[in-house]
Copies of this chain bind each other. A is one copy, B any other.
């Protein structure tokens, strides 16, 4: 890596952009701004994340569906807040072949308006509820802000969206809790500590009753939203006529929720775990968990390649994703560099002395520490190190997150945080939109919202620093991606 960690604490972009390409995640040279090409290695990592999501969806009885990517203008225009929120950023298809279309089509920016007229056909009776479906698809948003691979793009090519319908508000709330549990399992799987905030009303999803957002702390002190859960109440059900017959023969509008994530999950992994040498992948999603590099020596009687191959075989038989790098034409130092760049969690090096002594050198990607292990204890050692790496990645990211959350009582203290190493500032808040918006302005930061679940106890006796009235909430502010 040309850009070093010391620097990227402040200049994250440069480091990130270099890594995206050098580690083989995406190619940014596609001739449409904000649309990038998934390269094989990046896609393999993303597929592992998706596999976990698919498995979680199956575990929680969500069914997979696939809707068309094109939505007729007439469907899109049924829910007023939703249109207002998205119309500035949709791509319009106006012609097909050489002729104009009678009804314009738009590329889905999200799938509510594609799905919900079908929901009204599928959901008839209380026995159909809860109704839970999901898809992982490409969606499109004409971003006018500066684009950044995986983080802010015009084609989100891996967009996860779960859509559910329920008999009442309570069951929709139960779904939100399930979403939070799934999200928590996924975040652990990726070794990503996070916080959840309930968005202020002026920043909720267009058409939602309320929105939750899950954020991680990026190395430059800005936050990145990597998951959202929305309770729509009956807003969309009324616009799309999604009704069900109750046990007593009445007809009620369904309550709905959604849960969204995207390739930003991978961006968070890259940014939070990565270092000066490149990617640092959690072993859970590393396409290669252990790379074995033989280091032959001329005139040595020991066959290091055969020894290395034996190790790879044994690791594979133990269910570990191991790879033998026996390329002749490339020197070991260069191989180490490449595999570190690609974030492979463990590297095993074997030279003639290791063969002779029945040992191997094992290097951790997260700490760069090396140790010598007995050949016969290698599989166990690898298993233990994989666990240790997961734990270390999570713990050091958690420490970083926690050290970047500061609770203050005044706007002056808050300003200082943003002048310094940034992070999240928590401020007592009266709950008025006008105070919230003005604090955003003063701090040049976004209100992420209020901690979720709510922290009632911690605001007692506190005042809103903007208006001086009694605080009803803790409000979180941050510079965001």
A binding-site residues for B, Cβ under 8 Å: 27, 29-32, 35-40, 43-44, 47, 63-72, 74-75, 87-98, 105, 107, 114, 117-118, 121, 133, 138, 140, 142, 144, 155, 157
Contact = CB atoms under 8 A, between A and B. Distances in A.
Contacts of A117: 31
Nearest to A30: B68
Contact of A63 (B40, B66, B114, B157): B40
Contacts of A91: 70, 93, 95-96, 105
Contact of A32 (B94, B97, B105, B140): B105
B37 A96 contact: no
A88 B95 CA distance: 11
Contact of A87 (B47, B63, B90, B98): B98
14 contacts: A29-B121, A30-B68, A32-B72, A36-B68, A37-B65, A40-B63, A68-B157, A69-B138, A70-B140, A89-B97, A90-B97, A91-B93, A94-B95, A97-B142
B75 A118 contact: no
Nearest to A43: B64
Given A31-B74, A37-B67, A70-B91, 12 more contacts: A32-B68, A35-B70, A36-B68, A37-B66, A38-B65, A39-B65, A40-B63, A89-B96, A90-B96, A91-B96, A91-B105, A92-B93
Given A40-B64, A92-B93, A32 B87 contact: no
Nearest to A75: B31
Contacts of A29: 118, 121
Contacts of A142: 96-97
A62 B92 CA distance: 34
Contacts of A65: 37-40, 43
Residue of A64, A68, A93, A133 contacting most chain B CB atoms (<10 Å): A68
B66 A157 contact: yes
A44 B140 CA distance: 26
B93 A37 contact: no
A98 B140 CA distance: 15
Q: Closest 4 A-B residue pairs measured CB to CB?
A: A40-B63, A38-B66, A96-B142, A35-B68
Contact of A37 (B27, B94, B118, B140): B118
A75 B29 CA distance: 13
A10 B292 CA distance: 61
